[in-house]
Structure 1
Amino acid sequence: MFNTYPIKSPGSSLKLVLIGLLFCLSFNLNGQSLEDLKTTAAENNLELKTQYKRFEAQLEGISLAKSWQDPNLSFGYFISPIETRVGPQIARFSLTQMLPWFGTFKVKGDIAAYKAEAEFEKFQDQKLKLYLKVAQQYYELSALRYVAKIEEEQFEILKDLKSIVESNFENNKANLVDILRVELEMDKQLNVLQVLKDQDQALVTQLNQMMNRPLEAPVLIPNPKQTLEQIQFMESDTLSITHPRLERIRSLQDSNAAESELAQKQALPQFGLGLDYAIIQNQNVMNADAGQDAIMPMLSVSLPIFGKKNKSRKKAVSLQGEAIQFQLENEKTLLRTEIQVAKYKQDELFDRLDLYEKQLLRLKDILQLSEVALANASMEIEEVLRLYQERLLYLKQQAQALANLQKTNETLGYLTSNSAL
């Protein structure tokens, strides 16, 4: 592009090599695909593991809900024995077991099962959100590393410009201040590269935290530009009726319906079966049954006569059902809104990328002419530097727009996902 001239500031070049070497380690090694990182995050993320354990704990509630009540065993000892026809009664054992209305255990199990399904759908949604966060961080890191390469190219351009200005200075076509001005820009570029290196490590740390890996573990992206430009468009931009956020609320609706049935059963009597065992002391009473212990089966029935309590229970379940229905409709509206906003943003980003492409093509022609003009000393170095800064700005904005487009596409993927994924 430019003629090559000896460079008089080897110290700056050495700094660039050291900084660039750190980026090259990430660019040249075998990269890690986004899908690999998502899989690693799904397997290791602590928040996701926490939610799955909540789901497993809720599953255990199904067996608990279907379990019988513990029987009640009581023992009584008569300090003053009660005299009976067959002898004094000195102690009594009682064993009772309460039985709910028919089908109550099944309904309780259904309630626990539906709540477990709701926890599982919450886990599914959290997993999809984790995929989205990993993808957003991955494309942000790709954009940063692509910008780092652009900034390195800008530094090389400044070196070439400096060589041209030094040549003009030797031929009395430029001033010393022009050389100093280019060197000032080169120092700025070195600082920018150092800042990008620090930002790179910060993004890698955040990405590793999501995957529960060592925070210093490298994240390798061999070709950041190609990664940004490989956009896979969504085949559908409509709301999935089986999105985990919707399926979770539907599971709560099913649980509420079962709770309504349970409220009706709780308004019915409960039965109790029992057995009384009385110990009779033999005191040589002249009776054939003298000293024989007494056994008495028992049957008890609860009397749900307080109707206000039962009505309040049914009303509370009904109101909760209405609230869940409103929640479902609101969630559908939110998802549709988020999809539309993502689509609008996607269209806006495409328009920006078209603009940046046109501007960069124009600048390419202008810069070729300005290079010739600078070599002929018919153009000031300030104007050339300004043009290259403008080109750098468009390239960086293009890189960020590509990253935002990828992140928007991933957002649409999350919003249109279904519970089976």
Structure 2
Amino acid sequence: MNKINIKKLRLRNIFLYLMLLAGSLYDLQAQQLEQYIKLAKEQSPEIKALEAQKKQLSERINELNTLGNTSFGAGYFVSQPETRTGAQVAKLSVQQSFPWFGSFKTQKKYINSLVETKNYDIAIAKDKLALAVATNYYDLYMLKDKTQIYLKNIALIDSYEALALKGVETNQASAVDVLKLQMKRKELISKKEQTQGLFYAKSTAFSNLLNQEDLLIELPDTLSLPKEKLTDFNDPKIHPEVLKYDYVISSIEQEEKVNRKGANPNIGLGLDYVFVEERPGMVMDDNGKDIIMPMVNISIPIFNKKYKSITAQNNIKVQEAQQQQELQKNLIDTQLSQAIEEQISARITYQNQLENLNYAEQAQQILLQQYQNGILQYNDVLDIIELQLTMELSLTEALNNYYRQQATINYLNQ
């Protein structure tokens, strides 16, 4: 009884050790992936371009704090008009226009709303980049794992081919059996080389995502499914791609306020200075006195169809943004549901293939025992190898799909 308990205790300890090892490997690959994502965000030309656009928008605020050009004028009277105090000789003038009250403040709010919208564009671009890096990372692991699977099965066929060659000498196998194994070996070598080609192409794409050349990509040796855990899913309304439209609508509303300010009159202040020549032969106090004339002008947009049209366009823009926001919310909700279902399906497929693979390995052991008894059906061997290969590939594809869907869920569930 004590021996049985000790054996159970050892098995439990081994199981706990394997669980802890799997957890630590998962943490390590997660840390490595986070480092790649961080590097991609720092080096991304797309994000840098968006940040430059944001700086450009912010700089427009300084542009708004400037009045329009000041007008200066000078004139000389060719035909000098006579006045009571003398003839007008020349005139100097200066004039400055001012926008309607509050125009600067309104325009500044409009630019700030565009900056806020650009902030969401940057945040969304970073999140999408993180998703692309994660999915490419897991694709690379899958291709690497597939290459190892092909190599393992090629080695397995080599061992069976050696047995078949010995069997030919003892009439336990035929030359046809050897040829079948060799053809299968060439087929697997071809698939391995194709998979390696895909790996190199995917590596280039991954390096480009990180904007790096000749990047040495570190991938985990093994990946396993993490424990199932309950996840709190957020309302799609608070996803950045949905919230962005709140700022889009706000910027349109601010644009409309700028438009309304533009429909108001502009005020101009000016000053004319007229040089007057003294009248000869006359004695008076104001003889030859120059003229100073302050001026005020108002520019009124009488024909304001332009502003009415812009108002109508802005109303349509708001309606469009509202519909786009609703559409985006529905898309995220749908995509999140699909990702959750596909992840559940991937877990089920993985667990089923893991069990089936165990049965295939048991069948392989039975075939080896038959060989020891002098009986080995090479057609059965090829069938088992093909079945085992299919299961192993399906296993790594299910694992890849699980992690890809997890990355998608992480992106959508914000």
Task: Provide TM-score, normalisation by structure 1.
Answer: 0.84
Displacement of 1:66: 4.1
Displacement of 1:255: 1.4
Equivalent residue letter for 2:260:
Q
Which one of 237, 250, 255 corresponds to residue 254 of structure 1? 250
Paired position in structure 1 for 2:294: 297
- Work out the CA distance in 1 between the residues paired with 2:306 and 2:60: 26
Matches within 5 A, 1:249-288: 249-282=245-278, 284=280, 286=282, 287-288=284-285
Task: Identify which range, 346-355 or 125-134, moves more after superposition.
Answer: 346-355
* Secondary structure at 2:294 match in 1: strand
Displacement of 1:408: 0.9
Aligned 8 A contact 2:143 2:196 in 1: no
Task: Identify which range, 286-295 or 141-150, moves more after superposition.
Answer: 286-295
Paired position in structure 2 for 1:239: 235
- Work out the CA distance in 1 between the residues paired with 2:152 and 2:362: 18
- Work out the CA distance in 2 between the residues paired with 1:345 and 1:146: 21
Aligned 8 A contact 1:174 1:377 in 2: no
Matches within 5 A, 1:7-406: 33-214=32-213, 216-223=214-221, 225-226=222-223, 229-230=225-226, 235-282=231-278, 284=280, 286=282, 287-306=284-303, 308-406=305-403
* Secondary structure at 1:81 match in 2: coil
Q: CA 1:69 to 1:383, structure 2 compared with 1: closer, same or farther past 3 Å?
A: same
Task: Identify which range, 148-157 or 369-378, moves more after superposition.
Answer: 369-378
Equivalent residue letter for 1:137:
N
Q: CA 1:356 to 1:395, structure 2 compared with 1: closer, same or farther past 3 Å?
A: same
- Work out the CA distance in 2 between the residues paired with 1:267 and 1:285: 55
Displacement of 1:232: 8.5
Paired position in structure 2 for 1:13: none
Identity within the alignment, %? 25
Task: Identify which range, 232-241 or 313-322, moves more after superposition.
Answer: 232-241
- Work out the CA distance in 1 between the residues paired with 2:143 and 2:324: 40
Paired position in structure 1 for 2:23: none
Q: CA 1:396 to 1:129, structure 2 compared with 1: closer, same or farther past 3 Å?
A: same
Equivalent residue letter for 1:339:
L
Q: Which runs of 5+ in 1 are unaligned?
A: 1-29
- Work out the CA distance in 2 between the residues paired with 1:125 and 1:181: 54
Displacement of 1:274: 1.4
Equivalent residue letter for 2:313:
A
Displacement of 1:309: 4.3
C-alpha distance after superposition, 1:377-396 (max 9, x if no partner): 43321221121111111111
Task: Provide TM-score, normalisation by structure 2.
Answer: 0.85
Displacement of 1:63: 2.5
- Work out the CA distance in 2 between the residues paired with 1:58 and 1:232: 46
Equivalent residue letter for 2:243:
E
CA RMSD of aligned residues (A): 2.4
| Number of residue-to-residue matches in the alignment | 385
Displacement of 1:283: 6.1
Structure 2 residue 410 is the aligned partner of structure 1 residue 413 = yes
- Work out the CA distance in 1 between the residues paired with 2:197 and 2:305: 67
- Structure 1 segments of 4 or more deviating over 6 A? 231-234
Displacement of 1:313: 3.4
Q: Which runs of 5+ in 2 are unaligned?
A: 1-27
* Secondary structure at 2:100 match in 1: coil
Equivalent residue letter for 1:72:
S
